[in-house]
Each structure stands twice: as structure tokens, then as C-alpha cells.
């Protein structure tokens, strides 16, 4: 491999000749050989937006000339387009402020920008990082990435899920089945009503995510090292937020209290709480689907779902609810991520939280897992979900909890006696009720109508 020599304030470093990063990135690359978890590409893209926005702000405030702005803008655009992805090698497990990832971006933009300009006009610290600190850029990148992935990926997946459930509700109108509570038989429910509960969860989770967005759209940029804004011109935070808004089409603002912005990660914790709520709901929905599809002969068997692949290496013909299993595994990971994020957010000292890379990594992973698993669940399971009407009718007619319909006519205690007699003697509710002398057969038929119980 060919190398070139780069230097920073600590001295010279050998850097791969075909890469745009420089000495500080190389030091981190060599000093933190921990795990294989790289800084998420969503954070890299957010940094590129941030750097371009900061350059625009510095230009508008008279600190950066047009030629340097153009060079930074062009290099940043290449980062956004994915053309420079192999220039960001750093792992999550680095400095807790994310300084090395900030410098990785500064060095790549500086070297590529100089190449595009045909002259050395950019310096990683003095121009690309002008008016900034890692301490305010990393939390800003984290917020930008969080907003983008929620608005552009998670919510659209949820909106698809809502529409699929609406379609299933319409397709299954008029089907009455046994309800279940505590995994035990309960009073009847329309299958469309059961599905509407799933839809309601997806709709609520959209609301929760939307409620988290305003705080995420407040940016730390302009606080620099400790929140005082040292080395940044007056109005830089506001001007940078305006430029970032123009670049993304999303209304970001400068957080008014930069001391809070640098040291607290509560906005991310709150937003991930909404992702955890979604994970909990997806766990419930996927479990409902696989319970209802259990069988095909020895389970509930009230619905069928697509048979996507063989389910066993030893049992011929076995098909498993694999999409449900994938969804529930993703939900478990998100719940674990929530614990990590909450604990990391609680560990900042004084003017800075130094657990930001692990917070960012877990947040982005959660959002991706939820969106991807929802899309897969829709495409490979829900669109092929069908009601087994015969099995639903059979289970409904054999449910002892239909006896609840008799409460107004024979009273709770007598109805309980009917249910117990029917169960113990393996006879119908009608036979038990008539046998106990509570109602005539004709009267029983008049008042016992499961379809009226929903």
C-alpha cells in the first residue's frame, strides 16, 4: 500500500495515499480497534449537511469567502451522494464527544475540496471547522440524522402499515370471532375490530414520533466548546440553522440554551421512547398474528399467512411465521437499545455528555430496524393475511364465554353455573341452560345471539 505523510498538532502520520482523511482520522483508526460497529452512514450524511450549512453561515457572516464556501459545498455534496463512503472508517467506540468523527469529516472535506478547487484553500480546523467544536457539531449531526430518519423512513413505514390495516379491516367486515383475554376465551369481537386495534397502535406511534420532532429540530450548533459560543460570531447558530433548513427542507432552529444542548441528551431519549413504544406495539401485533395463525391443525388456526420458506430441516412440510419472528427480534433489540441510550444520556459530566457515539449508533439502529422490519412484515406477511372463517365460526360457537349474553336474563351466578355445567359435561351452553331450568329452548334461542354481542 502506498502512503503519504500528513501532520497534525501532535506530529506526522502515514496515511493511505488513496484516502482523503488525514492525521487525526488515522490516529483514531489505529488507536480504537474495538468492535466492528462503524459510525452510521446516517450520521456521516448529517455531518455533511452540517458542514455545508456552517460554511454558508460563515460566508453570510463575512468569515468565509465564496471560493472556500464553494469548495466545502462541492465536497460535502459528494459525501451526501455516497461517493466518499470509504473515507469514513472510524468505529463507534472512540472518544465520547465524537471528536474524531468530526475531524474525519473535516479532513475529508478539506482534502477533497482542495482537490476540486485545484489549490490548497481549505484547512480541516481553520476553515471546515470554522465557528464550530466537536462538542456542538456531534449533537447537531445526531439531531439532524434523527429527524431525517424519523420523517423520511420510520413514519412513512408506519403510514403504509396503517393503510394495510385499513384494507384488512374492510376485507374482513362482518366476520365475528371469539375474543380472548389472558389467553383465555372472552366475549365475541369482530375481526375488523381486532385489526382496528392494531391500526390504532400504528396511528398512535406516528403521533408519538411527531411529538418528539420539535425538540430534535433544536440544534446545538453555535455553542462550540462548552455552550458559551467561544470563537463563533454572534448569530452563527441561528444562521447555521437557517442554512441547514434550506438544505434539508426541514425547519431546524438554534436551541436557545446551548448549555443544555451540549450536556443533555433528553430530546434523543424522549424520541427513542417513542421508538420503544413502537417496538412494544410491533411485538404485540406480530405475536397476535403468529398466535392466530398457529397450527395448521393443532393451534388456533383462525388466520393463514403466506408460506414464504420451508420451516424445518427435519420436518417436511413445516412452515413457520418467520416474519413475525423477525419483527419480534427487532423489537427486543430496540428495547435493549433504549436501556443503553437512557443510561448513556445520564452519564454526561458538567458541560458535555461524552457518550454520544453510542447514543447515535443505537438510535439509528433502532429506527432502521423498526422501519425495515415493518416494511418486510407488510410485504411478506400482512398483505397475504386471510381469515379462516370456518375455524373462527367453530371457535366462536364453542366458546363458553358466550354465556355472558345470558347475564341480563338469568343473572351472573346462574350464568356461571351454565358455563361450568357445559364445560364439565362437554355439552352446549343451550343444553346446559335448558337442563338447569333457567330458560326454555325457545327463549334461549331468542336471547342468545353472538352477533349482537359485539
Q: Is 121 exposed, middle or buried (0-12, 13-18, 19+ CB in 10 A)?
A: middle
- CA dist 82 and 75 (Å) reads 11
Strands 253-254, 11-16: pairing kind: unpaired
Say yes or no to pLDDT of 348 above 90: no
How remote is the C-alpha of 275 from its chain's centroid?
Answer: 5
What pLDDT does residue 400 have? 92
Give the integer Cα–Cα distance in Å for 88 and 260.
29
pLDDT of residue 182: 97
Q: Is the pLDDT of residue 227 over 90?
A: yes
pLDDT level of residue 454 (50, 70, 90 thresholds): confident
* Range 3-130 has CATH code 1.10.275.10: yes
Instruction: Specify the pLDDT at position 42.
Output: 98
Active-site entry in 67, 251, 312, 346 = 312
Domain 399-453 has CATH 3.40.50.2000: no
pLDDT digits (tens, 9 = 90+) for 394-452: 999 899 999 999 999 999 999 999 999 999 999 999 999 999 999 999 999 999 988 88
Q: What is the mean pLDDT of residues 215-223?
A: 98
The model's confidence at residue 1, banded by pLDDT at 50, 70 and 90, is confident
**Pairing mode of beta strands 218-219, 253-254:** parallel
The confidence score (pLDDT) of residue 130 equals 98
CB atoms within 10 A of CB 191: 22
**Size of the chain, expressed as the number of residues it contains:** 454
Where in the chain are the domains? 3-130, 147-173+182-212+263-390, 399-453
Burial class (CB within 10 angstroms; exposed 0-12, middle 13-18, buried 19+) of 350: exposed
State whether CATH 1.20.200.10 applies to domain 147-173+182-212+263-390: yes
pLDDT in tens, 71-128: 999 999 999 999 999 999 999 999 999 999 999 999 999 999 999 999 999 999 999 9
In this prediction, residue 450 carries a pLDDT of 86
* Digit-coded pLDDT (tens) for 175-217: 999 999 999 999 999 999 999 999 999 999 999 999 999 999 9
For the ranges 38-47, 214-223, 444-453, the lowest mean pLDDT is seen at: 444-453
Asked about 182 being catalytic, the answer comes back as yes
Active site residue 157: no
**182, 260, 264, 371: which is the annotated catalytic residue?**
182
Query: What residue spans of 295-388 are helical by DSSP H?
Result: 322-345, 356-380
d(CA 394, CA 399): 9
Which is more confidently placed, 290 or 309?
290
Contacts made by residues 429-436, CB under 8 angstroms, sequence distance 24+:
429/400, 429/402, 429/403, 433/406
The angle formed by the CA atoms of residues 207, 211 and 214, to the nearest 5 degrees, is: 145
Q: Are strands 3-8 and 11-16 parallel, antiparallel or unpaired?
A: antiparallel
- From the number of C-beta atoms within 10 Å of its C-beta (0-12, 13-18, 19+), residue 17 rates as exposed
Q: Which residue has the higher pLDDT, 315 or 92?
A: 92
Q: What is the pTM of this model?
A: 0.96
What percentage of the chain has pLDDT greater than the value 90? 96
Integer-rounded Cα radius of gyration of the chain: 30
Amino acid at each position: 500500500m502506498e502512503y503519504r505523510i500528513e501532520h497534525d498538532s501532535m506530529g506526522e502520520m502515514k496515511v493511505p495515499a488513496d484516502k482523503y482523511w488525514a492525521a487525526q482520522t488515522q490516529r483514531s483508526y489505529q488507536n480504537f480497534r474495538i468492535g466492528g460497529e462503524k459510525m452510521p452512514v446516517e450520521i456521516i450524511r448529517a455531518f455533511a449537511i452540517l458542514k455545508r450549512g456552517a460554511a454558508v453561515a460563515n460566508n453570510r457572516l463575512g468569515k468565509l469567502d465564496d471560493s472556500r464556501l464553494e469548495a466545502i459545498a462541492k465536497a460535502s455534496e459528494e459525501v451526501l451522494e455516497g461517493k466518499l463512503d470509504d473515507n469514513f472508517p472510524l468505529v463507534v467506540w472512540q472518544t465520547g464527544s465524537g471528536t474524531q468523527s468530526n475531524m474525519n469529516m473535516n479532513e475529508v472535506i478539506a482534502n477533497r475540496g482542495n482537490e476540486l478547487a485545484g489549490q490548497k484553500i481549505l484547512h480541516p480546523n481553520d476553515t471546515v471547522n470554522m465557528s464550530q467544536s466537536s462538542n456542538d457539531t456531534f449533537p447537531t449531526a445526531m439531531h439532524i440524522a434523527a429527524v431525517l430518519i424519523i420523517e423520511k423512513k420510520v413514519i412513512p413505514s408506519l403510514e403504509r402499515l396503517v393503510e394495510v390495516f385499513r384494507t384488512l379491516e374492510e376485507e374482513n367486515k362482518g366476520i365475528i370471532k371469539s375474543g380472548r383475554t389472558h389467553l383465555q376465551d372472552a366475549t365475541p369481537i369482530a375481526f375488523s375490530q381486532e385489526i382496528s386495534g392494531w391500526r390504532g397502535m400504528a396511528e398512535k406511534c406516528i403521533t408519538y414520533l411527531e411529538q418528539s420532532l420539535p425538540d430534535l429540530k433544536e440544534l446545538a450548533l453555535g455553542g462550540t466548546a462548552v455552550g458559551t459560543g467561544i470563537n463563533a460570531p454572534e448569530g452563527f447558530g441561528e444562521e447555521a440553522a437557517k442554512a441547514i433548513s434550506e438544505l434539508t427542507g426541514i425547519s431546524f432552529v438554534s436551541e436557545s440554551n446551548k448549555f443544555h444542548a451540549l450536556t443533555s441528551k433528553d430530546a434523543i431519549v424522549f424520541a427513542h421512547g417513542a421508538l420503544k413504544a413502537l417496538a412494544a406495539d410491533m411485538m404485540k401485533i406480530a405475536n397476535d398474528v403468529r398466535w392466530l395463525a398457529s397450527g395448521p391443525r393443532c393451534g388456533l388456526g383462525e388466520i393463514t399467512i403466506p408460506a414464504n420458506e420451508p420451516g424445518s430441516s427435519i420436518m417436511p412440510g413445516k412452515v413457520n411465521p418467520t416474519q413475525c419472528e423477525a419483527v419480534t427480534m427487532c423489537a427486543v433489540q430496540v428495547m435493549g437499545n433504549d436501556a443503553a441510550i437512557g443510561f448513556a444520556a445520564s452519564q454526561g459530566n458538567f458541560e458535555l455528555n461524552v457518550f454520544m457515539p453510542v447514543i447515535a449508533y443505537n438510535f439509528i439502529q433502532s429506527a432502521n430496524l423498526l422501519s425495515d422490519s415493518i416494511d418486510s412484515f407488510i410485504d411478506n406477511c400482512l398483505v397475504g393475511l386471510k381469515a379462516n372463517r370456518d375455524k373462527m365460526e367453530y371457535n366462536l360457537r364453542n366458546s363458553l364465554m358466550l354465556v355472558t349474553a345470558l347475564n341480563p336474563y338469568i343473572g351472573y351466578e346462574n350464568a356461571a353455573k351454565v358455563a361450568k355445567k357445559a364445560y364439565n359435561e362437554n355439552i352446549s351452553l343451550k343444553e346446559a341452560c335448558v337442563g338447569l331450568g333457567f330458560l326454555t329452548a325457545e327463549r334461549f334461542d331468542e336471547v342468545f345471539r353472538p352477533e349482537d354481542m359485539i
